Amino acid sequence: MRRVSPQAVAVVAGLVVVAGAAVLGPTLFGDAAEARDLTNRQAEASAAHPFGTDDLGRDLFARVVVATRLSLLLTLGAVGISVAGGVVLGVTAAVLPRIPRRLLTGLIDILLSFPWLLLALFFSVIWGATSTGAMLAIGFAGIPVFARLIYTLAASVANTDYVRTAGLLGSSPLRTSVRHVLPNIMPPLVVNVAAHASVTLLSFAALSFLGLGVQAPEYDWGRLLNAGAKDIYREPMAAIGPGIAIVLTGVLFSLLGELLSEDRRPVVRAVRETEEPAETDSGEAVVDVQNLRVSFRTDDGSLVERVHGIDLRIAPGEVVGVVGESGSGKSVTAMAIAGLLGPEAQVECRRLAFRGIDLRGRLSAAQRRQLGLEQAMIFQDPLSSLNPALTVGRQLTEVSQVHAGLSRGAALEKAVAALDLVRIPDPARRIRQLPHEFSGGMRQRAMIAMGLMGTPRLLIADEPTTALDVTVQRQVLRALHDARERTGAAILLISHDIALVSGFCDRIVVMRDGVVVEQLAASDLDQAEHPYTRGLIACVPGMNTDRSRPLPVIGVAADEEVPV
């Protein structure tokens, strides 16, 4: 079960109280709020009247409770107008052609440059000083804020491949917006709506306080505050009472926004030790993993284990290949070693160490620096691992400048040498280019060069050649090989291609369904015993393969014998 934080309990309880007051308040406290007692006018706070009475002797506590409904309805109405207007303008701007889009975003930016309250005052003059006028004024004043936010969020989604594909399949802009864009911008939008509700509530109080909002005989918290403030020195509770309601509800909305965003904020990954004591004699191992288990939390809060107790040791300079079919846990294992698993992962292990650094606990600044210099990761898609807005040179030099303290000039010199080592032609010119000016294979080699900018002891390459054609694959593998020759770094190469791994690695680790089924030297591959390994080998066509017959299919069960 997912653990519920005390803050979440407090916020939900608070919201239930406020919602209860809005629903039941006028029924339960309506009479007390209207009952006049001219003998008891402007009474001070007492047990019978916690916030005192007003100038007609009406109980102010009852009036604050009754005012909850109108205050909340106005707030929700105004937020609804802001969000609906923002969605229409923001999504429209994101899907419009270039020139109308520029015009619309320009208009939104101009409106945004006016202070929000000024816009609200302007609109309230147009719609008049009534509660509906105030709601429209505050709602319309909030539209530019949401339009900008939604445009920014929607524009990032509008450029994704699945939205382009929907366009190619003939989906209309409206349908694409509703089906593909809106669901993907919903989480940050919901967070912002909750936070905005708090600001809206305060704005109503401000407008009513200025006499531009709710008018008599209606009353909201802002009007009660306005009335109480007139005599604040003699009878402070008359102003403090509605003030408390405004502040507490505003804080509740803000905390709700924070809670919703916290759910998506990465937290420090949970690393728990298993019961057995670790074998600490890790010798000179670069990586020492013992009994690694990784589980993921599902939507219903339960944990599903995906990696079931893996042992992996990598010696200095050793090239280890991890092979296995899709979903066998190769990437998750590598990410656990690199410390890159997200908060949804729970890692348990007897030992998880990199060059003697225990990765399970909190790392010191020096250890983090050492990891930054000595570990490098090369992902499958180099375009998403390189920042598209920074030159390749800026990204390469960052490690040396931040972790090794090199000057900009020295770091640039090192970057040119690293690009040269991975055989990128004309590195001094290329270093000033942006990632999109590189081909796929060059980007991958640039990522390897980035790993060379520190003092690498381990290069983790997760399917680095999968998206590349065979010739470019060879260039990338040669770059990895050269990097190892030059630095002596160990390599952990993840692939589903046993032929590629066997030609490149010293040792092969075969994974299936989250367990290591076999480990063997690459030179001993033809002596593999496990049926699954033999199946993987049998699936690789050789020079003598009979092309008229289909390749063997790997069995469903791990122990199923595969015809080789």
Ligand X SMILES: Nc1ncnc2c1ncn2[C@@H]1O[C@H](COP(=O)(O)OP(=O)(O)OP(=O)(O)O)[C@@H](O)[C@H]1O
Residues that bind ligand X (CB under 6 A): 296, 306, 324, 326-332, 342, 344, 496
In the complex, the smallest distance separating the C-beta of residue 327 from ligand X, rounded to whole angstroms, is 4
Q: How far apart are CA 203 and CA 200, in angstroms?
A: 5
Name the token pair of 414: 């090192």
Closer by beta carbon to ligand X, 221 or else 379: 379
Nearest-angstrom CA–CA distance, 153 and 391: 25
Which residue type occupies 141?
A: A
Query: In what helix (H) or strand (E) does residue 378 lie, and over which residues does it extend?
Result: strand 375-378
Looking at this protein, which amino acid is placed at residue 28? L
| Closer residue to ligand X (CB): 54 or 497 | 497
**225 contacts 215 by C-beta, under 8 angstroms:** no
Cβ 300 to ligand X, closest distance in Å? 13
| Unique residue bearing structure tokens 């994974």 | 511
Nearest of 212, 240, 232, 199 to residue 82 by alpha carbon: 199
Q: 109 or 344, CB closer to ligand X?
A: 344
Q: How far is the CB of 385 from ligand X (least distance, A)?
A: 15
Beta sheet of 490-495, edge-to-edge order? 375-378, 458-462, 490-495, 319-323, 507-512, 515-521
Report the nearest approach of ligand X to the CB of residue 275 (Å).
Answer: 24
- For residue 476 the two structure tokens come to 């990338």
For residue 8, the minimal CB distance to ligand X (Å) is 22
Nearer to ligand X, 103 or 553 (CB): 553
CB of 180 or CB of 330, closer to ligand X? 330
DSSP 185-241: HHHHHHHHHHHHHHHHHHHHHHHHHTTSS--TT---HHHHHHHHHTTTTT-THHHHH
Shortest Å distance, C-beta 233 to ligand X: 60
The residues near 356 (Cβ < 8 Å, ≥ 6 apart) are 282
> Of 449 and 493, which has the nearer Cβ to ligand X?
493
Residue 105 or residue 495: which is nearer to ligand X going by CB? 495
CB 435 within 8 A of CB 392: yes
Residue 510 CB, shortest distance to ligand X, in Å, is: 11
Which CB atom, from 346 or from 367, has the smaller least distance to ligand X?
346
Closest to 22 measured CA to CA, from 190, 277, 221, 235: 221
| Least gap, CB of 560 to ligand X (angstroms) | 19
